[in-house]
């Protein structure tokens, strides 16, 4: 009989059907993308550092400690491979350490550790359970300092409180994994990320209930009523206002456009208009002094400028590809093209304003420029996220990649060599590490510039479409 591992248990917690699919070779997970592989390697790199942390720092708290790396234990039908066990010979007991690359303790981390501890406790006297994770307060100053880069948090009490729940849940997971067919096995509620969509979501209609923005647990309620299509949702079903608007446009087959609200929003804009976009990289292990783990490094910007609605747009850009911190070079270049008046238009302003605040903290000499920049930022996405313009083709999302194909269908990200932010991140990382052959570097740089410029030009075209729409109705 196949044993149930921590990975199996996690799959069951995610969705029972996902575990069944794994045990019966029915997973449909696509091959990892290059960026997925990068993230996995980053996790391994952090795990390697955590090993040094345990050996060089945590072990000093013990007298004659014995560290066991990734030992495997069984408890009947359950199997555990813990990250580390430290044996305290004096007390004749063991402490369990689980390593995570995140900067906080998540609920699933505690459940993972509880599963591991329960299995190990069948063979060993387990005293305490710890999670080793990255310290979000850490700031790099010179060489990486493991004693402050990592923190270890004792979660023994939390784990002990879950013992009964874990015992029941793992037994149910084992039962489900051994079933011969899928009837009555619950599927997941996220078709877009499902690892076995033909099992969890067979025959989904064109506009399914899962596309409703922030539908959450209501999707389960609707599914239990036999409702999978947005068109089948009763008019009196309790939804919040923005969800009702989305349902309305799908049912009626035409967009919902609040011209007055859009006009008022656009009236706040001041010429010249600056359409701005940043590209960033956020490594778990900081590259430069002053940075925290996973803090974004702005290495590129694109700026389309419209001085007057009767003029053509101008374009400026900068891509930094050497090994130094890009910020000063990027900001010097941006400041030379961004005047001290006019609206700065972005898509999802939280991202750009946060980067500006971080850059100001890192380099105070730019703080006045960046603070002023933030006061001038206008979020074009809000026209869509606030429900002023709702269309079925947006699929419940206000992201640029959902809105653009509907409003400006002639612009297609799919036609670009680099067509998303993750690939741009990875391209920059490989460039500065010298992992791209010399003969390919200029092609990659051109593709990165093209992608970033595409984002800002897309905002220009959407603004033009909205402006034309509201002007025509005046």
- pLDDT value, residue 29: 84
Per residue in 296-333, pLDDT (tens digit) is 999 999 999 999 888 899 999 999 999 999 999 999 99
How large is the average pLDDT for residues 279-301?
Answer: 98
**Mean pLDDT confidence for 171-189:** 94
Calculate mean pLDDT across residues 151-177: 97
Look up the pTM and report it: 0.94
The one-character DSSP state at 202 is T
Provide the pLDDT for residue 31. Answer: 86
Q: Which domains occur in the chain, in start order?
A: 6-177 (3.90.320.10), 207-254 (no CATH), 262-472 (3.30.420)
CA–CA distance, 302 with 401 (Å, rounded to integer): 17
Q: How far is CA 87 from CA 61, 71, 124, 150, in A?
A: 12, 12, 10, 21
For the cut 90, the answer to whether the pLDDT of residue 460 exceeds it is yes
**Which comes out higher in pLDDT, residue 18 or 30?**
18
426 has pLDDT over 70: yes
pLDDT in tens, 75-88: 999 999 999 999 99
Cα angle 144-145-147, degrees, rounded to a multiple of 5: 150
Q: Are 152 and 58 in contact (CB under 8 A)?
A: yes
Cα–Cα distances in angstroms (integers) from residue 112 to residues 8, 70, 94, 172, 252, in the given order: 11, 14, 18, 16, 46
Indicate if the pLDDT at residue 371 is higher than 80: yes
Q: What is the pLDDT of residue 473?
A: 53
Segment 252-269 shows an average pLDDT of 95
What average pLDDT score do residues 186-208 get? 93
Above pLDDT 70, what percent of the chain? 99
Q: CA 167, CA 185: separation in Å to the nearest integer? A: 19
What is the tens place of the pLDDT at every residue in 201-239? 999 999 999 999 999 989 999 999 999 999 999 999 999
């Amino acid at each position: 009989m196949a044993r149930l591992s921590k990975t199996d248990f996690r799959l069951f917690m995610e969705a029972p059907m996902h575990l069944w699919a794994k045990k019966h070779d029915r997973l449909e997970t696509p091959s990892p993308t290059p960026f997925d592989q990068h993230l996995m390697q980053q996790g391994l790199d952090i795990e390697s550092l955590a090993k040094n942390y345990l050996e060089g720092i945590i072990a000093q708290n013990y007298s004659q400690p014995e560290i066991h790396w990734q030992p495997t234990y069984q408890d009947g039908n359950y199997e555990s491979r813990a990250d580390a066990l430290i044996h305290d010979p004096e007390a004749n007991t063991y402490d369990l350490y689980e390593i995570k690359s995140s900067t906080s303790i998540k609920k699933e981390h505690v459940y993972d550790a509880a599963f591991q501890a329960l299995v190990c406790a069948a063979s060993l006297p387990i005293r305490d359970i710890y999670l080793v994770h990255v310290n979000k307060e850490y700031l790099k100053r010179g060489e990486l300092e493991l004693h402050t880069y990592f923190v270890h948090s004792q979660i023994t009490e939390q784990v002990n409180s879950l013992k009964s729940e874990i015992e029941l849940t793992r037994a149910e997971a084992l039962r489900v994994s051994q079933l011969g067919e899928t009837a009555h096995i619950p599927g997941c509620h996220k078709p877009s990320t499902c690892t076995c969509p033909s099992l969890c979501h067979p025959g989904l209609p064109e506009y399914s209930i899962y596309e409703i923005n922030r539908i959450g647990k209501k999707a389960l309620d609707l599914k239990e009523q036999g409702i999978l299509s947005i068109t089948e949702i009763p008019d009196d079903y309790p939804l919040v206002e923005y969800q009702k608007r989305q349902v309305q446009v799908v049912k009626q087959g035409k967009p919902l456009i609040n011209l007055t609200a859009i006009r008022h929003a656009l009236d706040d804009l001041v010429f010249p208009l600056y359409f701005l976009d940043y590209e960033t990289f956020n490594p778990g292990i900081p590259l430069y002094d002053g940075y925290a783990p996973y803090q974004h490094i702005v290495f590129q910007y694109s700026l389309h400028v419209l001085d007057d609605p009767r003029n053509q747009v101008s374009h400026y850009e900068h891509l930094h590809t050497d090994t130094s911190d890009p910020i000063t070079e990027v900001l010097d270049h941006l400041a030379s093209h961004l005047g001290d008046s006019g609206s700065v238009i972005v898509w999802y302003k939280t991202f750009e304003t946060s980067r500006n605040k971080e850059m100001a903290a890192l380099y105070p000499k730019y703080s006045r420029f960046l603070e002023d920049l933030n006061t001038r930022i206008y979020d074009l996405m809000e026209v869509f996220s606030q429900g002023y313009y709702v269309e079925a083709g947006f699929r419940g999302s206000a992201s640029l990649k959902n809105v653009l194909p509907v409003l400006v269908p002639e612009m297609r990200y799919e036609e670009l060599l680099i067509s998303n932010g993750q690939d741009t991140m990875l391209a920059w990382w490989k460039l500065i590490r010298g992992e791209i052959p010399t003969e390919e570097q200029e092609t990659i740089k051109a593709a990165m510039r093209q992608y970033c410029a595409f984002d800002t030009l897309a905002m220009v075209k959407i603004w033009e479409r909205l402006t034309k729409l509201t002007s025509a109705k005046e």
